[in-house]
């Protein structure tokens, strides 16, 4: 079948991979001149398969007033006149119950564990260089209440197939001596040996290299903005681009936060809100002072990932429109967090700053599958976990196209 995938971020590229495996004639269209130039460019680098509990949870609700009032809060909300924003927030708040949060976690774990298997299958088929490492992840806590919540979550997830360990402060330091500068505030941590890291942009580029060649022969139309998805009689007839109309039998919308406008034009509501975050990438100067594993420090809401001789550091969640302008105070905070947590580890004079938009849905679950337009499928809304979930989301979509029974329950992710 001739299939057009709109979006060459990690979700679109993984989708192209699995569709091409099934022998479809795939064309990937993106407005940027290379793949992985949107939110997939410099994210937190975590393949965080066991940490998929949604942002919408009772603890977020509890902490929200405090976060919104603090000027240096990791969470920021700029109210707008856009009714879609208010609708999104109302649905987010409604999803913050213990019951809904637990149900979402179970569904997301099924997708994320499937995603790990599918990424490994892709890597087994073709070696790809993207600084991938299975180095484990340690989430450290500085408050007893947070640690207790994390241990309760660990017990729930153990029943769902996650292998994690609760560690005391001394055990965290034995595992990651680089954390010694924050030893006085450490209460404990949750360690997951099976977690992985990788460079999402590099994986997008590697996927393009592999897919463009035989036997896949995927066509890439880069530097090609899709202006409109043309729908007639309940079917997509074409996608309209600056370079003319492109036609196929099936279309997949995987354009990250760009899916919102394109979906709206086609009469499909995606319910995505862009949530801005920031990262810095710094060269590691003294490897004995840098972390070996991925570290999440919940006290400062910052993640650190060792990535091919650099440290990728990410954080912040801002509901503040669609811009990706980089706020210097946010970058300064990330630099400061590295300097305090891993002093001397990195060259902090020359960091690469970045900002990106998480394509987030209110319950923090992606929408994967058929839309109300007959030949338009969606693969979007992976939010803060798009790198982690891309391979499994893409395989699910390819299974739906092929009419194969998928490994996860497709109804859990069916677009509303």
Ligand X SMILES: Cc1cc2nc3c(=O)[nH]c(=O)nc-3n(C[C@H](O)[C@H](O)[C@H](O)COP(=O)(O)OP(=O)(O)OC[C@H]3O[C@@H](n4cnc5c(N)ncnc54)[C@H](O)[C@@H]3O)c2cc1C
Figure out which of the listed residues 3, 4, 5, 8 binds ligand X, where binding follows CB under 6 A. Answer: 8
Residue closer to ligand X by CB (options 44, 392) is 44
Could you tell me the smallest distance in angstroms from the CB atom of residue 89 to ligand X?
A: 19
For residue 190, which of 98, 102, 298 has the smallest C-alpha distance? 298
Residue 109 lies near ligand X (rule: CB under 6 A): no
CB-CB contact of 193 with 162 (8 Å): no
Residue 356 lies near ligand X (rule: CB under 6 A): yes
CB-CB contact of 391 with 346 (8 Å): no
Residue 39 lies near ligand X (rule: CB under 6 A): yes
For residue 109, which of 47, 157, 164 has the smallest C-alpha distance? 157
State how far the Cα of 407 lies from the Cα of 390, in Å rounded to an integer: 15
Sequence length of the chain is: 416
> CA torsion sign, 190 to 194 to 198 to 204?
negative
Residue 113 lies near ligand X (rule: CB under 6 A): no
CB-CB contact of 36 with 200 (8 Å): yes
Residue 359 lies near ligand X (rule: CB under 6 A): yes
Residue 119 lies near ligand X (rule: CB under 6 A): no
Residue 15 lies near ligand X (rule: CB under 6 A): no
How many residues touch ligand X under the rule CB under 6 A: the total is 42
Hey, which residues does 165 pair with through a beta bridge? 191
Residue 27 lies near ligand X (rule: CB under 6 A): no
Figure out which of the listed residues 178, 198, 277, 291 binds ligand X, where binding follows CB under 6 A. Answer: 277
Residue 366 lies near ligand X (rule: CB under 6 A): no
Query: How is residue 173 annotated by DSSP?
Result: H
179-238 positions binding ligand X, by CB under 6 A: 225-226
Residue closer to ligand X by CB (options 169, 331) is 331
Residue 46 is encoded by which pair of tokens?
Answer: 């975590």
State how far the Cα of 291 lies from the Cα of 294, in Å rounded to an integer: 7
Figure out which of the listed residues 3, 4, 5, 10 binds ligand X, where binding follows CB under 6 A. Answer: 10
Residue 182: φ, ψ to 5° = -110, 20
State how far the Cα of 97 lies from the Cα of 272, in Å rounded to an integer: 20
Tokens 């407005």 correspond to 31
Figure out which of the listed residues 30, 176, 195, 199 binds ligand X, where binding follows CB under 6 A. Answer: 30
| DSSP SS3 for 341 | helix
State how far the Cα of 200 lies from the Cα of 41, in Å rounded to an integer: 7
Residue 139 lies near ligand X (rule: CB under 6 A): no
Could you tell me the smallest distance in angstroms from the CB atom of residue 99 to ligand X?
A: 25
Could you tell me the smallest distance in angstroms from the CB atom of residue 15 to ligand X?
A: 9
User: What's the first-to-final CA gap in the chain, in angstroms?
Assistant: 26
Site string (250-269) toward ligand X, x via CB under 6 A: ----xxx-x---x-------
| DSSP SS3 for 106 | helix
Residue 43 lies near ligand X (rule: CB under 6 A): yes
Residue 395 lies near ligand X (rule: CB under 6 A): no
CB-CB contact of 201 with 143 (8 Å): no
Residue 37 lies near ligand X (rule: CB under 6 A): yes
| DSSP SS3 for 265 | helix
Residue closer to ligand X by CB (options 188, 366) is 366
56-85 positions binding ligand X, by CB under 6 A: none
Residue 44 lies near ligand X (rule: CB under 6 A): yes
Q: Which stretch binds ligand X (CB under 6 A): 89-97, 115-123, 334-342, 385-393?
A: 385-393
Residue closer to ligand X by CB (options 46, 333) is 46
Residue 48 lies near ligand X (rule: CB under 6 A): yes
Residue 38 lies near ligand X (rule: CB under 6 A): yes
296-325 positions binding ligand X, by CB under 6 A: 314
Residue closer to ligand X by CB (options 40, 337) is 40
* Interface ranges with ligand X (CB under 6 A): 6-12, 29-32, 37-40, 43-46, 48, 225-226, 254-256, 258, 262, 277-279, 314, 356, 358-359, 380, 382-388
């Amino acid at each position: 079948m001739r299939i057009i995938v709109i979006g060459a971020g990690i979700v679109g590229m993984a989708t192209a991979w699995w569709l091409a495996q099934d022998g479809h004639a795939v064309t990937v269209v993106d407005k940027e001149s290379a793949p992985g130039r949107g939110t997939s460019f410099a994210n937190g680098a975590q393949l965080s398969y066991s940490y998929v509990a949604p942002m919408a949870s009772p603890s977020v609700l509890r902490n929200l007033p405090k976060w919104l009032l603090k000027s240096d809060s990791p969470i920021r909300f700029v109210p707008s006149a856009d009714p879609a924003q208010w609708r999104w927030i109302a649905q987010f708040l409604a999803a913050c119950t213990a019951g809904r949060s637990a149900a979402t976690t179970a569904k997301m774990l099924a997708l994320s564990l499937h995603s790990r298997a599918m990424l490994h299958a892709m890597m087994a088929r073709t070696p790809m260089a993207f600084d991938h490492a299975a180095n484990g992840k340690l989430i450290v806590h500085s408050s007893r209440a947070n640690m207790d919540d994390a241990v309760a979550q660990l017990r729930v997830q153990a029943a769902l197939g996650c292998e994690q360990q609760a560690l005391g402060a001394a055990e965290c330091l034995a595992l990651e001596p680089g954390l010694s500068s924050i030893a006085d505030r450490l209460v404990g941590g949750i360690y997951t040996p099976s977690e992985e890291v990788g460079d999402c942009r590099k994986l997008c580029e590697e996927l393009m290299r592999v897919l463009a060649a035989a036997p896949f022969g995927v066509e890439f139309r880069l530097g090609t903005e899709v202006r409109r998805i043309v729908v007639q009689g309940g079917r997509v007839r074409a996608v309209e681009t600056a370079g003319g109309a492109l036609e196929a039998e099936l279309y997949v919308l995987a354009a990250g936060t760009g899916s919102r406008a394109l979906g709206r034009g086609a009469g499909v509501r995606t319910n995505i809100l862009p949530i801005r975050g920031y990262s810095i990438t710094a060269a590691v100067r003294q490897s004995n002072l840098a972390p070996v594993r991925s570290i999440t420090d919940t006290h400062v809401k910052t993640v650190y990932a060792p990535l091919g001789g650099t440290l990728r550091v990410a954080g912040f969640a801002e509901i503040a429109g669609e811009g990706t302008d980089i706020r210097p105070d946010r970058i300064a905070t990330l630099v400061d967090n590295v300097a305090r947590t891993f002093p001397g580890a990195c060259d902090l004079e020359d960091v690469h700053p970045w900002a990106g938009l998480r394509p987030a849905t209110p319950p923090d679950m992606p929408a994967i599958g058929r839309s109300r337009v007959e030949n338009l499928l969606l693969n979007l809304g992976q939010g803060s976990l798009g790198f982690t979930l891309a391979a499994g989301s893409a395989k699910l979509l390819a299974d739906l196209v092929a009419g194969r029974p998928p490994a996860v329950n497709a109804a859990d992710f069916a677009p509303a």
